[in-house]
């Protein structure tokens, strides 16, 4: 009827929100600019599977903090090694491996119990990420400039010590101590575009042993913890 206001049902609303409704996987890591590794940002990841049971790809919203005034830095797409290897050669230069940052303790999952975190990190170990920060410098009041292709840490002496210490203090973790046990891989030693073929495993990434739906609920509990309401996190760039 003309002039009648359309009322969405609760089912319609749930369906409309479904693209972000499963972004309950939360972890924190450090991103570095691909073309200038001195530019480094502590980044909060809120991720979900593209579709129910689609372990081949996750989509992540990236923020500079876990607080209510967090700035949306950009997006990251995470794919399995199997899917990465199927990409055209020219496309692979935009993707970085997660091997080193998992094994080095650079990625942490605040609010998760040790076993759940270990299971997810095992899953993440052989995956690849394509990350663009559309808010290049999080110290500016609005996004300015061109988007930045971001990378992961790839060697021990790369991360800014102050940045790491601030992240560790905020979440009560120790990057130096919290190296995931029970995982080994030949991590890529080069940061050149596309030069990551030294990554080897006996098989492709497989789903974690624990249901991701259950894990999402656990990870989302960070929103209700004092950590999430403690104010904006620290970002550092050179």
Ordered per-residue pLDDT tens for the chain, 238 residues: 455 566 888 777 767 766 666 777 899 999 999 999 999 999 999 998 876 667 789 999 999 999 999 999 999 999 999 999 999 999 999 999 999 999 999 999 987 888 999 998 999 999 999 999 999 999 999 999 999 999 999 888 888 899 999 999 988 888 876 655 445 444 443 333 333 333 333 223 334 434 334 434 433 333 333 333 333 333 344 4
Helical H segments across the chain, by residue range: 10-16, 18-21, 81-85, 89-92, 99-103, 114-124, 161-171, 212-220
235 lies in some domain = no
99 lies in some domain = yes
7 lies in some domain = no
Contacts of 54 (CB under 8 A, 6+ apart): none
Range of the domain at 187: 22-224
15 lies in some domain = no
- Into how many domains does the chain fold? 1
43 lies in some domain = yes
11 lies in some domain = no
29 lies in some domain = yes
DSSP helix/strand/coil, 164: helix
52 lies in some domain = yes
């Amino acid at each position: 009827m003309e002039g009648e206001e359309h009322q969405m049902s609760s089912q319609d609303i749930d369906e409309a929100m479904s693209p972000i409704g499963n972004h309950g996987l939360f972890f924190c890591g450090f991103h570095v600019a691909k073309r200038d590794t001195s530019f480094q940002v502590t980044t909060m990841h809120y991720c979900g599977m593209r579709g129910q049971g689609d372990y081949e790809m996750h989509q992540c919203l990236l923020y500079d903090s876990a607080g209510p005034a967090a700035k949306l830095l950009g997006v990251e797409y995470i794919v399995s090694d199997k899917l990465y290897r199927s990409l055209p050669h020219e496309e692979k230069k935009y993707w970085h491996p997660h091997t080193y940052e998992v094994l080095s303790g650079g990625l942490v999952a605040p609010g998760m119990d040790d076993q759940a975190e270990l299971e997810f990190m095992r899953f993440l170990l052989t995956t690849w990420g394509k990350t663009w920060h559309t808010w290049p410098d999080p110290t500016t009041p609005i996004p300015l400039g061109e988007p930045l292709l971001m990378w992961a840490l790839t060697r021990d002496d790369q991360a800014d010590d102050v940045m790491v210490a601030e992240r560790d203090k905020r979440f009560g973790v120790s990057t130096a101590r919290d190296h995931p046990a029970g995982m080994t891989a030949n991590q890529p030693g080069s940061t050149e575009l596309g030069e990551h073929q030294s990554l080897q495993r006996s098989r492709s990434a497989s789903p974690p042993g624990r249901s991701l739906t259950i894990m999402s609920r656990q990870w989302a509990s960070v929103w209700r913890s004092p950590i999430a309401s403690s104010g904006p996190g620290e970002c550092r760039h050179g």
